[in-house]
Structure 1
Amino acid sequence: MDLLGTVLLLVLVGSRAQNLVDVTGEPGQDVTLTCSVNHAELYWSMEDQNQTRTGIGRTASSVPTYFSPDLEAKYSLSGVGLTVRNLSVDDGRMYFCEKREDGGPVYGDPIRLMVSDVLLSNGSSVQLDVPIMSAYVNENLAYWKRLSLILSLVSALLGCCGYCCRKKEDEAADQQMENERMNPSDDCEL
């Protein structure tokens, strides 16, 4: 049981909860997103319309590398920041940053970029929330995955406890049978 408790603690400590960061910008603005992980080499990606991650680029020392020329025209990488140039409605999505280590990637907090106050031709403005459902589903999916993992570990812990109790009961029964065999009662005639 001590081993299982240790494993449970390591899993819970190792699965650091990420905080969703909301950033709002207006069309035509440049908006800078800041990674919560401070590292000399960061990888940035974004969620596309199919809810898959697409790499934007990486920062390495002072020279950023972009994964395509189109991305270099739209984004600017520097330090822990990703600047989205000339914000448009299509830029409203989830953005992710990470650093890579020998033990695997270390993710920064996900960033939801929302575009607001679109000025219409008649002079009125409209509030847009892009992407609402995608971010909501991603947040809840991560929650349910963590909950499922915790419930699985609790179930395993209870299973181990049940196994240990049964094993102790079996050992006690075996001991009692051994004692009865070594010390037969007076009721039996030989």
Structure 2
Amino acid sequence: MDLLLLLMMPLVLVGSEVQNVTEVRGKLGQDVSLNCSIMDADVFWSMEIHHHFRFSIGRSFFPTDKASYNSTELKTKYLINGTRLEIKNMSSEDGRLYYCGRTIHNSISAEESFLLLLLPDSPDSSGINLGDVVTYSSLALNLVLVLVVLGLIVSLKRKINKFQENKCSGPIDENPERLETVQYEEIQLPDFRPPPPPECVYYKVQLPGS
């Protein structure tokens, strides 16, 4: 609860120290009830902030179930119903001493006290805390995910290196005999001869009188 709110609450000074203390245990987020044994008078509820210093929460009116609170903020946190005080939505700050009492000679006398304690998270039937199981499961899943990603990266890197080696070296013939033997084939060209020159025909011309 806010310290400023506590300072604004009425201060209750109790002269007599309560001897008997009843321990009440509750869990975070749950409602916890404190039951007072005063049955024939108005019941005043208070809580201890510091040793011997207590702040008033409110009161219930006997014989009705009506109640009054010392501030509207307290009404949202506490519920006074007859001889019962209910603490809503318990938090770690609610672990303290609470008192119920009555008025004697115009002063409030605390007759019962309750020490509200916070219960730890209960483990499951196997003795393993459920929160630890969730934490370890999450860590295991993250580890598996990291290993899968690393495996994909390594595999991709190997494929890239192999591709680069094949590209630089060119195709490789796996048959050594073919590498040692020169393969060739003799090609027969057709017999090509130039055509004979055209035959020249000479005629002897006889001139007259020769």
> So what's the TM-score if we normalise by structure 2?
0.46
Deviation at 1:27, TM superposition (A): 0.5
Aligned mates of 1:38, 1:108 — CA distance in 2: 12
Q: Distance in 2 between matches of 1:118 and 1:69?
A: 32
Rounded to whole Å, the distance in 2 between the matches of 1:103 and 1:73 is 28
From 101, 106, 110, give the equivalent of 2:104.
101
Q: What is residue 164 of structure 2 aligned with on the other side?
A: none
1:80 to 83, 95, 98: 83
- Contact preservation (8 Å) 2:44, 2:102: yes
Tell me by how many angstroms 1:17 deviates: 6.6
Does the CA-based 8 Å contact 1:40-1:79 persist in structure 2? no
Equivalent positions of 1:30-109 (< 5 A) are 30-48=31-49, 50-51=50-51, 52-60=53-61, 61-102=64-105, 104-109=107-112
Note if contact 2:26-2:117 (Cα within 8 Å) is conserved in structure 1.
yes
SS in 2 for 1:90: helix
Q: Which of 120, 123, 129 does residue 131 from structure 2 map onto?
A: 123
CA contact under 8 A between 2:98 and 2:114: conserved in structure 1?
yes
Q: String of CA shifts for 1:144-189, please: whole Å, max 9, x gaps.
A: xxxxxxxxxxxxxxxxxxxxxxxxxxxxxxxxxxxxxxxxxxxxxx
Q: Which has the larger radius of gyration?
A: 2
1:126-141 → structure 2 map (5 Å cutoff):
none
Q: Aligned with 1:39: secondary structure?
A: coil
Distance 1:68 1:103 in 2: 22
Task: Kindly state the Cα deviation for residue 118 of structure 1 after the two structures are TM-superposed.
Answer: 4.6
Q: What is the one-letter code of the residue matched to 2:90?
A: L
Amino acid at match of 1:123: G
SS at match of 1:56: strand
Cα distance in structure 2, aligned partners of 1:102 and 1:70: 30
Q: Contact conserved, 2:18 with 2:111, CA < 8 A, in 1?
A: no
> Which of the two has greater helix per residue?
1
TM-score by length of 1: 0.51
Closer, same or farther: CA 34–103 of 1 in aligned 2, 3 Å = same
**Partners of 2:88 and 2:19 in 1: CA distance:** 26
Q: Deviation at 1:104?
A: 4.6
Percent identity between matched residues is 35
Change (3 A) 1:41 1:17: closer
Q: How many residues align?
A: 108
Shift of 1:103: 7.1
Per-residue deviation, 1:105: 3.7
**1:111 paired residue among 114, 121, 127:** 114
- Which 5+ residue runs of structure 2 have no aligned equivalent? 1-15, 123-129, 133-210
Distance 1:64 1:103, change over 3 A: closer
- Measured in 1, the distance between the counterparts of 2:29 and 2:17 equals 35
